[in-house]
Amino acid sequence: MKRWARLAVGTILAAAGVLLALFFGLLYFVADCGAGCAARGEHAPVFALVGAGAGLVAAGVTLGRGWRVALAWGLVVGGAIALATSAWGALTQGDGGWTWASAAGGLIASVVGFWTRSARRAADPK
């Protein structure tokens, strides 16, 4: 892929990620969700989608270094943000149910991203 194309696609990914994270982050603060809603874990999709937005931003920023690097960083950052926001919701707000599944998904994405980065580094013959 040519450099200008990577720059254009990376910019689009980063902008889409910012918009996705901002939209669902603001939705969390605007939504009317009582104690029963939180106990069922109905915030979990919001936490996961904020993480996905952050992952798109990281992938867009690092796309110039190659798609494998962008994929790895997108998984690491997106998974870490999903894990952190889900854990925050579960531990401080009393969210339950699917919130723990969102946290587990964030953890799995981060581990796969770190594994992808380490496998790529081991394959580089520097």
pLDDT band at 4 (very low <50, low <70, confident <90, very high): confident
**pLDDT, average across residues 73-79:** 95
Q: What is the pTM of this model?
A: 0.84
**Cα dihedral 120, 123, 124, 126 sign:** positive
Domain count, the chain: 1
**pLDDT, average across residues 72-100:** 88
The confidence score (pLDDT) of residue 98 equals 84
| Full domain range(s) for residue 74 | 3-26+34-123
Contact call for residues 62 and 120 (beta carbons, < 8 A): no
